[in-house]
Amino acid sequence: MSIDKKLSQLERELDALRRKVKGIEDLKVASEVFDKATLLTLYELANKGYIDLLYGVIKTGKESNVFLAKDSDGKPLAVKIHRIATSDFRAMTKYIEGDPRFTGFRRNRRGIVYTWVRKEFKNLERAYLNGVRVPKPVAFKNNVIIMEFIGSDSTPSPMLKNVGLSQPEEFFRDLLANVKKLYCRANLVHADLSEYNILVKDDLPVIIDLSSGVVREHPYASEFLHRDIANLVRYFRRYFPVDYDEVYNYITSCGGEGGVPEDS
Ligand SMILES: Nc1ncnc2c1ncn2[C@@H]1O[C@H](COP(=O)(O)OP(=O)(O)OP(=O)(O)O)[C@@H](O)[C@H]1O
Ligand SMILES: [Mg+2]
């Protein structure tokens, strides 16, 4: 096929996508987020039946946009789209390099962002399989992840940072049990854990944003774990006294906690 023909075919496909992923035109951020490659990615995910309707922005962040979508049964989903152009891809390298799951990734901007997204999906899978309360991963491709929507109806659950907890001790205990499972069973350190990446649903924590997460063998894993725990300790001291060492020892005492074996 000639280049011209290929291009016009691509244009037709993009038009089809704009129609196919219903609601996309209404989204203000459309032009900024949905470059052609992202449109094609969404098109493929819609074609495979993962998403039917894309209809609201949950959050526009520095590097990603999270949308509310629905599948063909009308079940809500969260679609996280990582922007390529504004990503701090140099900073990402520190969290990819040294993780044995991701060797030989392409070191250009796009290659790093795609690896970053694949890492978030793999981390979500591992965490979910090991019983950590995270959004259930559904599918990913390139810079797009589809996962369970955390919220009720179409309203997303709030971030911990915006919630006054009525039972902070219980919440903290549950949160630490989840972080311990993440560490001992899923073999992961979150590496960006704070009140910003914990949602509160039905008074319980849901851990999100696992893109930074590394396996325990990663050269910076212990540095990241210290930072994660320090963030939690700092935050919960507004409610009651918390001892860093006690929390650290609890999370890292993994006796008898066998995890699901490595997938990829
Ligand atoms: N599965 C989900 N269900 C409901 N809301 C979600 C979900 N995932 C993310 N969100 C919302 O979107 C926000 C951003 O998501 P996330 O933390 O994963 O991205 P981010 O990488 O921190 O974005 P950025 O760094 O670009 O600001 C979250 O704070 C949360 O409010
Ligand atoms: Mg976040």
Give per-residue pLDDT as tens, 175-190.
999 999 999 999 999 9
Structure tokens at 211: 């893109």
Q: Kindly state whether residues 24 and 148 are assigned to the same domain.
A: yes
Average of per-residue pLDDT across 209-237: 98
CATH code for the domain of 200: 1.10.510.10
Is 259 inside a domain boundary?
no
Q: Return the top range by mean pLDDT from 38-47, 55-64, 223-232, 252-261.
A: 223-232
Regarding whether 146 and 196 lie in a shared domain, the answer is: no
Confidence of residue 56 (pLDDT cuts 50, 70, 90): confident
Question: Between 58 and 4, whose confidence is greater?
Answer: 58
| % of residues, the chain, pLDDT over 90 | 69
Q: Pocket of ligand 1, candidates 144, 208, 210: which has the most ligand atoms within 8 Å of its Cβ, to mutate? A: 208
In a domain, 220, yes or no: yes
Q: Mean of the per-residue pLDDT values for the chain? A: 90
- Give yes or no: residues 129 and 28 share one domain: yes
Q: Are residues 64 and 19 in the same domain?
A: yes
- Evaluate if residue 135 carries a pLDDT over 70: yes
Confidence of residue 13 (pLDDT cuts 50, 70, 90): low
Structural domain count of the chain: 2
- Residues 84 and 172 reside in one and the same domain: no
CA atoms within 13 A on the CB side of 247: 23
Indicate whether 118 and 198 sit together in one domain. no
> Which residue, of 152, 173, 207, is where some domain finishes?
152
The verdict on whether 35 is a catalytic residue reads: no
Ligand with smallest separation from the Cα of 208? 1
Confidence of residue 19 (pLDDT cuts 50, 70, 90): low
Same domain, 80 and 160: no
* Distance from the alpha carbon of residue 259 to the mean position of ligand 2, in angstroms: 26
pLDDT exceeds cutoff 60 at 264: no
pLDDT computed for residue 73 by the predictor: 92
Give this prediction's pTM. Answer: 0.90
Asked if residue 99 and residue 184 are part of one domain, the reply reads no
The verdict on residue 218 lying in a domain is: yes
pLDDT at 89: 86
Which ligand lies nearest the alpha carbon of 154?
A: 1
Query: Is 101 within a domain?
Result: yes
Give, for ligand 1, the residue of 29, 59, 71 to mutate: max count of ligand atoms closer than 8 Å to Cβ: 59
For residue 243, the SS3 value is coil
User: In angstroms, what CA-CA distances link 199 with 136, 159, 193?
Assistant: 14, 4, 11
Say whether both 147 and 188 belong to one domain. no
Structural domain containing residue 119: 12-152
